[in-house]
Homo-oligomer: A and B are copies of this chain.
Amino acid sequence: MSKLSNSLRASLDELARACRVLELEGQGDRVVGHMAWRDPEGRGMWMKRAGVALGEIFDSRDFILLDFDGNKRSGEGVKHGEWPIHSEILRLRPEINATAHTHPFYASVYSSAEDPLETVVPRSTTQPIRPPRFDDGHDLICTPDVAGAMVKTMGNNYAVILRNHGIVTCGAQIEDPVLVAIALEKMCHEALTINASGLKFSCPKDEGLLEKLETGKALDPSIIGSKIQWAYLCRKLARAEKAGDPRLTTEPIPITD
Contact = CB atoms under 8 A, between A and B. Distances in A.
Given A103-B121, A109-B190, A235-B253, A244 B246 contact: no
A31 B228 contact: yes
Q: Give the oligomeric copy count.
A: 4
5 contacts: A103-B121, A105-B189, A109-B194, A112-B194, A164-B203
A203 B199 CA distance: 16
A200 B121 contact: no
Interface of A: 24, 29-32, 50-53, 56, 103, 105-106, 108-115, 120-124, 137-139, 164-166, 189-204, 208, 228-229, 231-233, 235-237, 239-240, 242-249, 253
A229 B31 CA distance: 7
Nearest to A233: B30
Given A239-B244, A243-B244, A122 B138 contact: yes
A31 B50 CA distance: 33
A165 B41 CA distance: 43
